[in-house]
């Protein structure tokens, strides 16, 4: 296979990268790990002629924890995120979600930014980030903006990114003391298989009551989605099985699954119920109180 | 663009378009055809090489990302014509039709570098990104375990000997280290020689 006729650009700063992206227009794409991009280029799925390599921009690969946020730079590889002690401290379920996907070879190259920007509905890292209340910091020619992660996705392979705009980092808020998270996933194989359904849950407890709860899902809608209904059902309640079941049913109802070669819509909806239940049980257990 | 990297311990300078796949750079430009192309989409792992010590699918790595990197291909496993313990172990049933073998070897090599005594589940996970089209994973997993055993046994055989020397004569211990360093230093020298001959 020949990939000869692509021009490579190496910006020295984030601002220069954005400027290049805008000037080169729809024929340009940002290059991070390349695991999504190279198959696209090979199959000529798009009109790409220019690649703006983000590796030359300093600082985009950093993972750092400050008093309010865990910052994960868009170029941090999935392996680096999964192995980061700051990630283990802040959101261990993100590490688990990453280790459930693909295989070593892909995780060593693929990046968190790429997993977001690919806009694939079955992506595994967005749901757990959304459940944890993550935000995305976008950098563009006209400056920066920060959005809740669930608002980043518009449709399959579509995101809110404007031409010349890129996802600079994912910001995960430091989780409250008595909180726990879980990512539950079902796929046809243990590795190198897209999720049939993935469900992430985050639960915070105080004095035996759920104070905060968020459930997010993948592969059951055109975008990774927040099941907002679940929060209303769970918050203020005791972390008991009956409450979890109600939330799980609401999540299944909220899902907009389609049938494809990996599973039918009906099967997926039932999986959402089962996986939400498991995710809530685990998240609550990790938050410190055994669900009754 | 000009790409400088180390391939199997040898410094190389390659002139290539920047978005050529590392797989093609290795096979076509450097003529290292041990690395195989399977699916070409990062699903099968046949093209696995070590990039700065980590297993990657070389079909998904643009050549421009090999700049300054250290790459090990299946050709880099044997030393002076002697197969590595892993390669020896694969000969006893682990190498089947052969298409997945170079990738399996490199993924297994990456595992053994980090874990000298991997359990079966860990081996299976390390090889999860490598498909065998003969669907015979049992012999492959056995081969990796065997290689780990052989390597451990060899290391264990060496250890007491080294201790004795170190305890007996200071010189012996002192001698060993510089000797190893010399060997390491020699390598680039011989490779440089090889390159000169090729040129």
Pairing of strands A28-31, B54-57: unpaired
Do A169 and A145 lie in one domain? The reply is yes
CATH number, domain with residue B29:
3.10.20.30
Do B9 and B62 lie in one domain? The reply is yes
Chain A with chain B: Cβ pairs closer than 8 A: 88
**B42 contacts A39? CB cut-off 8 A:** yes
Output the CA angle B103-B104-B110, nearest 5 degrees: 90
- The answer to whether B199 and B193 have CB atoms below 8 angstroms apart is no
CATH number, domain with residue A31:
3.30.43.10
Domain boundary among A173, A202, A222: A173
Do A96 and A144 lie in one domain? The reply is yes
**B54 contacts A192? CB cut-off 8 A:** no
d(CA A273, CA A240): 16
| pLDDT confidence of residue B168 | 44
**B54 contacts A79? CB cut-off 8 A:** yes
> What average pLDDT does the structure give for chain A?
95
Structural tokens at position B144: 């990796």
Output the CA angle A40-A58-A80, nearest 5 degrees: 65
| pLDDT confidence of residue B9 | 97
The answer to the question of residue B180 being in a domain is: no
Q: Is the pLDDT of residue A290 over 90?
A: no
Domain boundary among B76, B102, B128: B76
HEC readout, chain A: CCCCCCEEECCCCHHHHHHHHHHHHHHEEEECCCCCHHHHHHHCCCCCCEEEEHHHCCCCCCEEECCCEEEEECCCEHHHHHHCHHHHHHCHHHHHHHHCCCCHHHHCCCEHHHHHHCCCCCCCHHHHHHHCCCEEEEEECCEEEEEEHHHCEEECCEECCCCCCEEEEEEEECCCCCEEEEEEEECCCCCCCCCCEEEEEEEEEECCEEEEEEEEEECCCCCCEECHHHHHHHCCCCCCHHHHHHHHHHHHHHCCCCCECCECHHHHHHHHHHHHHHHHHHHHHHHCCCCC
Do A45 and A78 lie in one domain? The reply is no
Question: For chain B, how far is it from start to end, CA to CA, in angstroms?
Answer: 20
Do B108 and B154 lie in one domain? The reply is yes
Do A210 and A250 lie in one domain? The reply is yes
Q: What is the pLDDT of residues B93-118, one digit of tens each?
A: 898 899 999 999 999 999 999 999 99
| pLDDT confidence of residue A291 | 39
The answer to the question of residue B144 being in a domain is: yes
Do B56 and B88 lie in one domain? The reply is no
HEC readout, chain B: CEEEEEECCEEEEEECCCCCEHHHHHHHHCCCCCCCCCCCCCCCCCCEEEECCEEEEHHHCEHHHHCCCEEECHHHCCECCECCHHHHHHHHHHCCCCCCHHHHHHHHHHHHHHCCCCCHHHHHHHCCCCCCCCCCHHHHHHHHHHHHHHHHHHHHHHHHHHHHHHHHCHHHHHHHHHHHHHHHHHHHHHHHHHHHHHC
- The answer to whether B103 and B126 have CB atoms below 8 angstroms apart is no
Do A164 and A183 lie in one domain? The reply is no
| pLDDT confidence of residue A121 | 96
| pLDDT confidence of residue B161 | 59
Do B153 and B92 lie in one domain? The reply is yes
The answer to the question of residue A57 being in a domain is: no
Range(s) of the domain holding residue B56: 1-76
Q: What is the pLDDT of residues B72-87, one digit of tens each?
A: 999 999 999 999 999 9
- The answer to whether B20 and B85 have CB atoms below 8 angstroms apart is no
Do A110 and A19 lie in one domain? The reply is no
d(CA B18, CA A46): 19
Do A192 and A214 lie in one domain? The reply is yes
Do B95 and B49 lie in one domain? The reply is no
* Tally of domains in chain B: 2
Question: Which of B18, B60, B129 lies nearest to residue A191, judging by beta carbons?
Answer: B129
Rg of chain A over Cα atoms, rounded to whole angstroms, equals 19
CATH number, domain with residue B152:
1.10.150.120
Residue labelled with tokens 């060997």? B183
Do A279 and A190 lie in one domain? The reply is yes
B182 confidence band (pLDDT: 50, 70, 90): very low
Q: Is the pLDDT of residue A42 over 80?
A: yes
User: For the residues A195-218, what does the mean pLDDT come to?
Assistant: 97
Domain boundary among B76, B101, B121: B76
Q: With an 8 Å Cβ cutoff, is A39 touching chain B? A: yes
Question: Which of B21, B24, B45 lies nearest to residue A105, judging by beta carbons?
Answer: B45
**B21 contacts A1? CB cut-off 8 A:** yes
The answer to the question of residue A1 being in a domain is: no
| pLDDT confidence of residue B174 | 41
Do B67 and B88 lie in one domain? The reply is no
B162 confidence band (pLDDT: 50, 70, 90): low
Among residues 44-63 of chain A, which lie with CB inside 8 Å of chain B? 51, 53, 55
Do B9 and B72 lie in one domain? The reply is yes
Do A167 and A252 lie in one domain? The reply is no
The answer to the question of residue A228 being in a domain is: yes
Do B90 and B156 lie in one domain? The reply is yes
* Tally of domains in chain A: 3
Q: Is the pLDDT of residue A218 over 50?
A: yes
Do A28 and A130 lie in one domain? The reply is no
Do A167 and A190 lie in one domain? The reply is no
The answer to the question of residue A229 being in a domain is: yes
d(CA B117, CA B194): 36
Q: With an 8 Å Cβ cutoff, is A8 touching chain B? A: yes
Do B72 and B124 lie in one domain? The reply is no
Q: What is the pLDDT of residues A45-54, one digit of tens each?
A: 678 899 999 9
The CA distance from A50 to the nearest CA of chain B, in Å, is 10
Q: How many Cα atoms occupy the beta-carbon half-sphere of B39 within 13 Å?
A: 16
d(CA A46, CA A158): 14
Residue labelled with tokens 């790595």? B61
| pLDDT confidence of residue B198 | 38
The answer to the question of residue B2 being in a domain is: yes
| pLDDT confidence of residue B136 | 87
Range(s) of the domain holding residue A16: 7-52
Do A277 and A207 lie in one domain? The reply is yes
| pLDDT confidence of residue B135 | 79
d(CA A154, CA A133): 18
| pLDDT confidence of residue A2 | 54
CATH number, domain with residue A168:
3.30.465.10
| pLDDT confidence of residue A66 | 97
Domain boundary among B30, B54, B76: B76
The answer to the question of residue B130 being in a domain is: yes
**B129 contacts A104? CB cut-off 8 A:** yes
């Amino acid at each position: 296979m020949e990939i000869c006729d692509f021009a490579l650009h190496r910006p020295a700063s984030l601002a220069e990268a954005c400027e290049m992206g805008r000037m080169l227009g729809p024929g340009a794409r940002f290059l991070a790990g390349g695991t999504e991009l190279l198959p696209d280029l090979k199959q000529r799925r798009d009109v790409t002629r220019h690649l703006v390599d983000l590796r030359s921009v300093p600082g985009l690969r950093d993972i750092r924890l400050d008093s309010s946020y865990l910052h994960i730079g868009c170029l941090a590889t999935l392996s680096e995120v999964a192995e980061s002690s700051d990630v283990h401290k802040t959101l261990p379920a993100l590490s688990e979600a990453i280790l459930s996907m693909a295989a070593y070879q892909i995780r060593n190259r693929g990046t968190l930014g790429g997993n977001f920007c690919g806009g694939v509905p079955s992506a595994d890292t967005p749901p757990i980030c959304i459940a944890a209340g993550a935000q995305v910091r976008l950098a563009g020619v006209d400056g920066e903006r920060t959005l809740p992660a669930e608002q980043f996705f518009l449709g399959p392979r579509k995101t809110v990114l404007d031409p010349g705009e890129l996802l600079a980092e994912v910001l995960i808020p430091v989780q409250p003391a008595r909180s726990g998270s879980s990512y539950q996933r079902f796929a046809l194989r243990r590795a190198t298989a897209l999720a049939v359904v993935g469900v992430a849950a985050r639960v915070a407890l105080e004095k035996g009551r759920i104070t905060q709860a968020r459930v997010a899902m993948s592969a059951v809608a055109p975008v990774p989605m927040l099941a907002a209904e679940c929060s209303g059902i769970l918050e203020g309640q005791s972390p008991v099985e009956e409450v979890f079941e109600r939330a799980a049913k609401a999540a299944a109802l909220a899902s907009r699954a389609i049938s494809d070669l990996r599973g039918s819509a009906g099967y997926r909806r039932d999986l959402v119920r089962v996986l939400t239940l498991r995710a809530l049980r685990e998240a609550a257990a990790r938050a410190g109180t055994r669900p009754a | 663009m000009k790409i400088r990297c180390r391939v199997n311990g040898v410094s190389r300078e390659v002139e290539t378009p920047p978005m050529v796949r590392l797989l093609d750079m290795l096979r076509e430009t450097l003529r290292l055809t041990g690395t195989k192309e399977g699916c070409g989409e990062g699903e099968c792992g046949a093209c696995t090489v070590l990039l700065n010590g980590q297993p990657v699918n070389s079909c998904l790595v643009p050549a421009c990302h090999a700049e300054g990197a250290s790459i090990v291909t299946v050709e880099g496993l044997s030393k002076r014509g002697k197969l590595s313990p892993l390669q020896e172990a694969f000969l006893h049933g682990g190498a089947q039709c052969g298409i997945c073998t170079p990738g399996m070897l490199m993924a297994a090599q990456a595992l053994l570098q980090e874990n000298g005594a991997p359990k079966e589940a860990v081996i299976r996970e390390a090889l999860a990104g490598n498909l065998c089209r003969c669907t015979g994973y049992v012999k492959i997993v056995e081969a990796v375990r065997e290689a780990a055993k052989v390597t451990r046994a060899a290391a264990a055989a060496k250890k007491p000997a080294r201790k004795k020397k170190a305890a007996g004569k200071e010189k012996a211990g002192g001698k060993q280290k510089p000797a190893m360093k010399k060997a390491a230093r020699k390598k680039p020298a011989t490779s440089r020689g090889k390159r000169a001959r090729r040129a």
